[in-house]
Homo-oligomer: A and B are copies of this chain.
Amino acid sequence: MPDGARPWQLHGDRALPADPSTRAAAREIYQQTRALPIVSMHGHVEAQTIDEDLPFGNPAELLVVPDHYLVRMLVSQGASVDRLGVAPVDPASSVVPEQDPRAVWRRFCESWHLFRGTPTRYWMEHELVEVFGVAERPSAESADRIYDHLDAALRSDAFRPRALFDSFDIEILASTDPAWSPLTHHANLAAAGWGERVVPTFRPDPLLHLDRPGWCSDVDLLSAAAGLDVTSYPTYLEALRERRAAFVAAGARATDHGHLLADTTPLSDAEAHRIFDLALSGVAPSPAEAQAFSGHMLFQMAAMSAEDGLVMQLHPGVLRDHDRSVLATFGADKGYDIPVQAEYTRSLRPLLEAFGHHPGFRLVVFTIDETVYSRELAPLAGVYPAMRLGAPWWFLDSPDGMRRFRETSTETAGFYNTTGFVDDTRAFCSIPARHDLSRRVDAGYLARLVVEHRLDLDEATETAVDLAYTLPKAAYARRG
């Protein structure tokens, strides 16, 4: 830090509303939630990370390269993906990524202004100051000093995964795992007494999309994991059911489904057989057939959830890998997934008519098209007992995005038909920042209701605690 500069500090009132009386009420509400344990029921941190408990890598590797929010912003202003240290999928590729993590870190620091007004700015500030004790703003000038500071921290035991898990006060963390996962790391964690703290989530997406390249070999993985030969539609369902049971035994609370559409129309049994057999024989089904089959399988997953009590999570409406040449060179999840319009009212009707009142079934729906909050999702969650509305997802997991979510869903669905906060990140060190921001924004929204005399302060405080802690636990309790 340059001599004489004031150390970088985060203001205690950040992300609370500007109006003084509303801020005072928000502060009072936030005081009741800020120190609550973290319930993280949907994330992409690997169980392996917690199980092996190895030191994280260097600052660039930990904080820049794998974070698609960061990568996409730097790319949008002219940095090429490989200059940010992202490696091509094909090791024989002529693209040689930046090898020097310090150079990658510098690129990020000198572009700090690009993140103004974005949640990445908020999360990174929180991580740098609160988690790592950095005392100056990122810039071209400060980049190397911050790098050294972080690098030293990452070599200490206090910054290994389990130590951070404890210091973050994470009560429970759900990982996301392919249907064929052997769940070895979860087993190790259970043996180490961490079985209640890290639980798996069943994610069968690749198996439900018959037209994905590699589907046939993924089915082989399913067969191997389930210990039975998938040779037909019935054995396919049986293998999925078997794997769900293995996840339940390993402590899973939920399944997760990322589809382009929210369609849940079941096919006739004969049609499902026909399309499945076609695909298994190696003949690619038509796009329409593949899409119909994936909607059909959402219905089947709901039926299985009503039996085994796994909470069903649905994340539709994203066109993955918008630029297919970036996908071919660097692989998925590089920041090129773009939302499209989503429809829920008609799409969820078959599923909700069949299971929407089933006491053993719970459906948590997310959206990245926020126009559906007031039009479709709040009205649906506000009547079907099986349904809950998940937290603002992805691009909407931001201060104004979260505020708009409350403003457009609460009046119809209330607070108690939402799940409370769900973070959904692969950036382990950002988990406390994300929960903290959510608690601040909810405190601000509730404070406005108080100051506008639409809610009493005792009610607002109770609701804030429920949103931060009680509701996520309740929403993701296995049913039945």
Contact = CB atoms under 8 A, between A and B. Distances in A.
Counting chain B CB atoms within 10 Å of each CB, the highest count among A338, A371, A396, A401 belongs to A338
B77 A385 contact: yes
B379 A375 contact: no
Counting chain B CB atoms within 10 Å of each CB, the highest count among A11, A378, A381, A449 belongs to A449
A73 B113 contact: no
B338 A14 contact: no
Contact of A356 (B117, B323, B349, B396): B323
Given A451-B18, A454-B117, A323 B340 contact: no
Interface stretch (A19-27, A88-96, A251-259, A288-296): A19-27
Interface stretch (A118-126, A278-286, A297-305): A118-126
B385 A398 contact: no
A407 interface: yes
Given A17-B452, A411-B118, A453-B14, A338 B380 contact: yes
Interface string A322-349: 1111000000000110111101011001
A391 B301 CA distance: 41
A319 B345 contact: yes
A415 interface: yes
Contacts of A453: 10-11, 13-15
Q: State the copy count for this chain.
A: 3
B345 A412 contact: no
A116 B323 contact: no
A245 interface: no
A61 interface: no
A379 B374 CA distance: 22
Nearest to A412: B395
A16 interface: yes
A16 B451 CA distance: 9
A75 B414 contact: no
Contacts of A407: 400, 404
A114 interface: yes
A114 B414 contact: yes
A390 to B, nearest CB: 15
Contacts of A11: 453
A193 interface: no
Interface in A1-54: 10-11, 13-22
Contact of A414 (B19, B73, B374, B380): B73
A416 interface: yes
A72 interface: yes
A142 interface: no
A463 interface: yes
A459 B116 contact: yes
A222 interface: no
Given A21-B20, A118-B410, A339-B376, A399 B454 contact: yes
Contacts of A275: none
Interface in A343-377: 343, 345-346, 349, 352-353, 356-357, 368-371, 374-376
Contacts of A417: 76-77
Interface string A397-429: 011110010111011111111000000000000
Contacts of A132: none
Interface string A98-118: 000000000000000111111
Contacts of A194: none
A19 B16 contact: no
Given A21-B20, A117-B454, A407-B400, A375 B382 contact: no
A416 B77 contact: yes
A75 B385 contact: yes
A435 interface: no
Contacts of A401: 374, 411
Nearest to A68: B383
A385 B73 CA distance: 9
B119 A411 contact: yes
Contacts of A233: none
A384 interface: yes
B340 A117 contact: no
A307 to B, nearest CB: 20
A213 interface: no
Given A18-B21, A76-B414, A114-B416, 4 more contacts: A18-B19, A116-B449, A322-B353, A371-B371
5 contacts: A18-B21, A73-B414, A76-B417, A116-B455, A336-B383
